[in-house]
Structure 1
Amino acid sequence: RCQVWAPRADAVAKALLAEHQYTSAYDYLKTAEEGYEKEGMTEPLVRTLQTMSSIDQMLNRNEQANMLLQRAVDAASHLGPDALPVRSRLLAAQGRLARTTGRIPESREYFKKALALCSQPDKTTGDLALASISMGEAMLEAGRKEEARELFLKGLSGSENASYLLNDCLNALRGLARISTEQGNYEEALAYLYQAEGAARGVLPADHAFWAGLYDQRGWVNILRKAAPEARADFFKAISNSSASPVISAQSREGLGKAWLDAGEGGKARENLEKALQLRKSHFGSDLLSLGRVYYSLGLACDMAGDRDGALIAYAGAVDSLLKCVEGAERRDLLVQSYLCKAYALCDGEQWKEAAEAFEAVLPMLEGEQRSENYKQLGRCYDELGMKEKADDCWKESGFPRVRMASPGRRTSVKSRSSRR
């Protein structure tokens, strides 16, 4: 009987999912899952468990979703060697769930394993849309953007599956927006995000975690396109929907602080960046790059608000965090900016010895005009300290004529690139 009724329950569930009747569909999927398991029908069992997990994620039942995914992984281990694409797809799904719940390093490991098992989606099963989207996410995490874009578009065009797997379609649209953003196509990114918003409107509940993630992502796109008012509106929406997600709360507070910085509102920027810093310290203290980025922005906000002591503390926090990070372009850029802003703030306070130490520390990371400017500021510091020989060497290296400056001129650039997915 199970061999007959399990596929029938599965078919009814698929029809209900097409109408977005998730709770009713879930009950039929449970009937199908029980039948498939009893009869040892492993392949449809794995697919059913993953579909149930996807629904659980849509309904904010992440713990239940994780348990079902693990059951699917365990069941898939009994499939033959031709099932590598299935296992790969499940690992990608685990990576997505880990990312959703803020476990970023774990998420990347899942995606890496998914790609190692199967670098392309399975083209022999009826689940091509789901497989394409899952593997598109893995490709994106690996930096293979064009391949990811192709897979996302292929998944979205697979209407038979995409029509009821809304969660996967929304992930594909947000993935496409992320690719467009990283390539500088901000208007295209916004179009994908508005498309995702329209698809979820009236289907997902108002308190669903999707909304916080969507508005946070859209806010950062608006930051990049220099649309601070629109960014603030999006971040406010994200924050009001992010009570269950510390990672989104931290990102959106940081984004709101950045938007106020862009508007020249140092006090408001500082208030939000301090909250972002507190959230990161409490929940994501090991993410030192993001911690350094928030510290740096907080220093700029304190500078803008006229609080030099607060700025120095923030810049020092940025330097300390970034020095502990692995090498990378963003880390280097932030570290240079943090050192320089710290040095200029010290000059403003006539703390010449400490300023010279900061200028010396950043010197190996500079080249060209920036390096010459740094030698000039070092020369000034050593002049103020009465260290004529060192000052002479620095002025000579700078290539500038020796002058006595009333102020070095603060370099408080707010340029910093974000690492939020």
Structure 2
Amino acid sequence: MPMPDVLRPRILITRSEDDPGERWQDYADRVRAASGEPIPFDVALYRRGDVFPAHDGLVLTGGVDVDPARYGEPPHERLGRLVPARDEAEFALTRAALAGGRPLLAICRGMQVMNVVSGGTLHQHLEEREPHRSRRGADGVTIDSGWHGVEVIGGTLLSRVTKTAHLRVNSRHHQAVTRARLAPGLVASGMTSEGGLEVVEAIEAPHHPFALGVQWHPERSEMAATPALHAGSGALFEAFLHACTAGQATPETPFLYFGYGSSMDADRMRQTAPHARLIGSARLADHALAFSIESKNTWHGGVADILPSPGDEVWGALWLVPPEESHALDEHEGLFREPPAYRRVTVEVTTPSGDRVRCRSYQVVMPDPRTPPPSKAFKEALLRGARTVGLPPAYVARLAAMPDNGRA
């Protein structure tokens, strides 16, 4: 039985008239086929600070080149058309999706936007046409895609979704992401070396519920209408919509939250989520506590972050938060600032009894290695929370030994 429209996840799909080769309806058809409700977002109408329409997931579509000024490089002589208004809108949408934990499927140009927003850069022009760039068809009018293979990296979201180690995909791009230009914090989950240059064909944000970018065009009928290519086409939209459907339920139910900074302190936590209930302590493996963003007005120094670090661990407080306090928690962590301070991430933590649970946490969007040490006041809040929650004495001692900037 088809899903009633009222229950379909609302999928915001960017729409622009800047590229006649892109058909918005193709994206909408794939979303609807996967039980989503497509909502057009006309990028030309966006103005900085606008409130985005309510949506459960975001699809970034293909199109014109990303302005290299966005990543601090001069333009290549073969740079294509630029549309600053589109960059402005899609960069804001992408930042919000990554920070807020909203499912994101970024296609072709969209993948490149996702990489640049996350701190990466782009290879501005692929000199060899084959196999990446499109070409004029035999009739002299139509634009045909290139075709090549993609090696899927095991253990990634793309691998779990496609259930294969190799994909055959279409290709219509001349800008690209390479390993050297991949944003820190993102993972390359699909690669190709066809054409002589190793190109990243898929990227993802490992701590995000679902943030996947693909360089090919899974929405086009040449992919979607071919059963043998389903893994690289329809399966992507189905997995994306599944994530969007799961996300719809989140605000209606209590959720677990792992706090590793000042939110370990019950008094501080009650200011943001007064009805949150402390479950106990928990450990996040293969991460390190860092201070990678500065709080100039509240804490007057660096504030806490978690960074991947094999072999290290971060201890914190596990809270059960009522759904009506979810927005306040997001707001407290700066998700709605421009640019956002933190983003939602989903992490798996282990309790002292050995239970492994998935929960919400927050991570700095743009870590700054120049961040000063925490203030004395922030350090005291950390220690107060750590002792109250009952973190291991050795970990508390490590916190106590951290340098601070002396500010109360």
State the structure with more CA Rg: 1
Scaled by the length of structure 1, what TM-score is found?
A: 0.22
Relative to its length, the structure with more strand (as a share) is: 2
Relative to its length, the structure with more helix (as a share) is: 1
- Larger RCO, structures 1/2 (Cα 8 Å, 6+ apart): 2
